[in-house]
Amino acid sequence: MHFQDDVFEIPNWKGNKISVARSKNGRIAVVDFRDNLIANALPGVVIPFPLLQKLVRSVHESQFSGSALNAVTKKLKFYADLQSLASEDIMTFSCLGPIWLAGPQEVARFADWLIREWGLPLKKLGTAMMDFWRRLPHAQTGGRNGSEFDWAITHKHFLLLAENEFSGTQCTNLGIQPQSDAGSDVDRICQKIRA
């Protein structure tokens, strides 16, 4: 199948041809977000909740027009950021989704590996939970619009909050007082909870 210049085919992570579209500013997006997943990150038919919550209309939809817009909105009836080849969320779920889907023991094995790699003086976890894209309360206002971390591992004695940056740098100058960053926001929230 061959398309016009703004809709065409490329090989995916598995070497299979997939349909993609190019936006007006050159962003490449897959027609079906599932084609953007690496390997078997989505083994079943049901879309796991972490991905489902990310399937929302993107503010970048207006960057597509004509046949490219028709292509990227055909499946969902709108364009979602998970369709972008540069989506950090889809890369995060592709890498960590299989661990999460394998259950609490596998999450704990992964956390144990991280603990060993970082040289932390912690015992094996046994079981642990993993979450994706949870938003913390805002550290300065207590509102719902605080930092959103890409993934977290929780256990009764362990909390890991992670922000993936596959390119670029960590956001700074956050909040009402712009000298804030996500790490210091978490520290402020933890201090309030302990107080």
Burial class (CB in 10 A: 0-12, 13-18, 19+), 116: exposed
Is 164 inside any structural domain? Answer: yes
Last residue of a domain, one of 86, 114, 138: 86
The pLDDT value given to residue 2? 44
Domain that holds residue 75: 7-86
Same domain, 82 and 48: yes
pLDDT tens-digit series, residues 111-150: 999 999 989 888 888 899 999 998 877 777 777 777 788 9
Is 91 inside any structural domain? Answer: no
Number of domains composing the chain: 2
Report yes or no: 153 and 117 within 8 Å, Cβ to Cβ: no
Q: Is residue 108 pLDDT above 50, yes or no?
A: yes
Same domain, 82 and 135: no
In whole angstroms, give the CA distance from residue 152 to residue 129. 8
Same domain, 107 and 190: yes
Same domain, 78 and 44: yes
Is 142 inside any structural domain? Answer: yes
Instruction: Return the biggest CA–CA distance within the chain.
Output: 62
The pLDDT value given to residue 28? 94
pLDDT band for 71, please (50, 70, 90 cuts).
Answer: very high
In whole angstroms, give the CA distance from residue 44 to residue 31. 19
Residue linked to tokens 């083994």: 43
In whole angstroms, give the CA distance from residue 96 to residue 110. 10
